Structure 1
Amino acid sequence: MPHGTEVLLPEGAPLTDIEYETPQHLIPFGCRSGACGACVIEVIDGFRSLGEADLDETDFLEDLGRTDGTYRLACQCRLLGSATVRVVE
């Protein structure tokens, strides 16, 4: 996201709801089902605040070469607390 951009979402909201909170397209979304990889984010802080990744998401991230455990698919995240993320290009 642009440096310093802060978006507030209600607890339990899917991270895809971010596009309803700002006119900017901060995170690119494609399929919204965890199959296209358009919404890969790097979690800078608050990894556990995005819910647990299921095995399908983890396997797909490995297929994309994102194996160090700091990446998620934004479309699969539910916001459970505060988190700082960076959109992966």
Structure 2
Amino acid sequence: MALHTLIIESHQLEFQLPVNSPITDIEWEVGGKNVIPLGCRVGACGACLIKVTSGLEALNSRGDDEEAFIEVLGYTGEEYRLACQCLIRGELAIEVVG
């Protein structure tokens, strides 16, 4: 099974995740520490807002609902994502915003 690197720059942490894993799966690797804040887990609260600093193409596409909600939160640009909606498909670096 292929593994991809997820770097969380805002915490100086690095993880290896299987292809197509939700990036929020790191929660299990850090023993429940809130590296990426999680709330509803369905893209409706904004707690897990991240900014992709490299590897945007390594994520699944952003849906219309996710895009609209991020704009409601006051952010524009495709580099902003809700971590609970992201599946990793390559090397990725992010900063936690939420």
Give the TM-score band, short-chain normalised.
over 0.9
Find runs of 4+ consecutive structure 1 residues off by over 6 angstroms: none
Match of 1:27 among 36, 57, 77: 36
Corresponding position of 2:72: 63
Task: State how far apart, in whole Å, the 2-side matches of 1:61 and 1:68 are.
Answer: 9
- CA–CA distance in 1 between the matches of 2:59 and 2:82? 10
| Partners of 2:40 and 2:81 in 1: CA distance | 15
Code of the aligned partner of 1:12 = N
Q: What residue in structure 2 maps to residue 88 of structure 1?
A: 97
Q: Which runs of 5+ in 1 are unaligned?
A: none
Where is the strand percentage greater, Structure 1 or Structure 2? 2
2:3 counterpart residue number: none
Name the structure 1 match of 2:62: 53
Structure 2 residue runs without a partner (length 5+): 1-9
TM-score, normalised to structure 2, is 0.85
Equivalent of 2:47 in 15, 33, 38: 38
Whole-Å separation in 2 of the counterparts to 1:58 and 1:40: 12
| CA-to-aligned-CA distance 1:5-61 (integer Å, 9 cap, x gap) | 101111110111010111332100000000000000000000111110000000000
In the comparison of the two structures, how many residue pairs are matched? 88
RMSD between aligned alpha carbons? 1.0
- The 3-state SS of whatever aligns with 1:26 is coil
